[in-house]
Each structure stands twice: as structure tokens, then as C-alpha cells.
Structure 1
Amino acid sequence: MPIAPRLSDSEAAALRSLAERENRSLQDVAREAIREYAENRSRTELLDQILDEELPRYAEALERLGQ
């Protein structure tokens, strides 16, 4: 599904500048940025979930280590 995000003038200029420096299309740079954002967000959410599940199990040991 094609989308056309509305960028501010400064966002568009930054995207254009990056694309020119890397000799790539605006679309390629934008797609890569979105892909990286989604991957990083997924990793962060997974890490948060694991910490929420596992930290209580080790809370006492972590408390002692902090003393």
C-alpha cells in the first residue's frame, strides 16, 4: 500500500541532503529509515517484555548486588 508522509520543510531538506550525499533515491533512504525504526522498536519492545517478566525473579539478588 503506497503512502505519502507529509514532511516539514526541514525534514524534506534533511532527507534530500542525505539521499544526495549517498547517491540514493529519496524513497530508498526513507524506506531504510522506516525499516530500521521498526526493527529497533521491535527489539526495544521485546527487551521491555523480557525485563518485565524476568526482573521480578532476580529482584532479591539484584537488590543485594546494589548494596
Structure 2
Amino acid sequence: MAMTLRLTDEEADALRVRAEFEHRSMQEVARQAVREYIESHSRADLLEHVLDEELPRYAEALERLGQ
């Protein structure tokens, strides 16, 4: 699916410089950044969910272990 990404002049310049430094296209660098963002936030969301949902079940056991 195609989409348009609107960047400020400063963002576009920074992306261009980074892409040139890495000998990659601006599109490749931007797509990699999106993938890394999604992966990073997906892990954080999963961990938060597990802590919110599962930790209370084991709160008493964890408290006892801490004594």
C-alpha cells in the first residue's frame, strides 16, 4: 500500500544525509525506522499488558518471596 509521508524541510534534509551516509535510499531508511518503531513499541505494549494482567495474580507469592 502506498502512502505519502510529509516531512519538514529539516526532517527531509536529515533523512537525506542519513541515507547518503548509509548508501541507501531515503525510502529504505524511513521504512526501517518505521519497522523499528513498531517492533519497539509492540514489545513495550506486550510487557505492559503482561504486567497489568498477570502480575496481580502472583502479587502475594512475589511479596512472600521478598520477605
Shorter-chain TM range is: 0.7 to 0.9
Whole-angstrom CA distance in 2 between matches of 1:50 and 1:18: 36
The structure 1 segments of at least 4 consecutive aligned residues displaced by more than 6 Å after TM superposition are: none
Structure 1 unmatched runs, 5+: none
Partner of 2:54: 54
**Counterpart secondary structure, 2:28:** helix
Give the aligned CA root-mean-square deviation in angstroms.
Answer: 1.8
In the TM superposition, what is the alpha-carbon distance from 1:51 to its structure 2 partner? 0.6
1:26 alignment partner AA: M
Structure 2 unmatched runs, 5+: none
| TM-score (normalised: structure 2) | 0.82
Q: 1:62 to 1:7 in 2, by over 3 A?
A: farther
| TM-score (normalised: structure 1) | 0.82
Alignment map for 1:25-36 (pairs within 5 Å): 25-36=25-36
Whole-angstrom CA distance in 2 between matches of 1:63 and 1:8: 54
Q: How many residues align?
A: 66
Identity %: 58
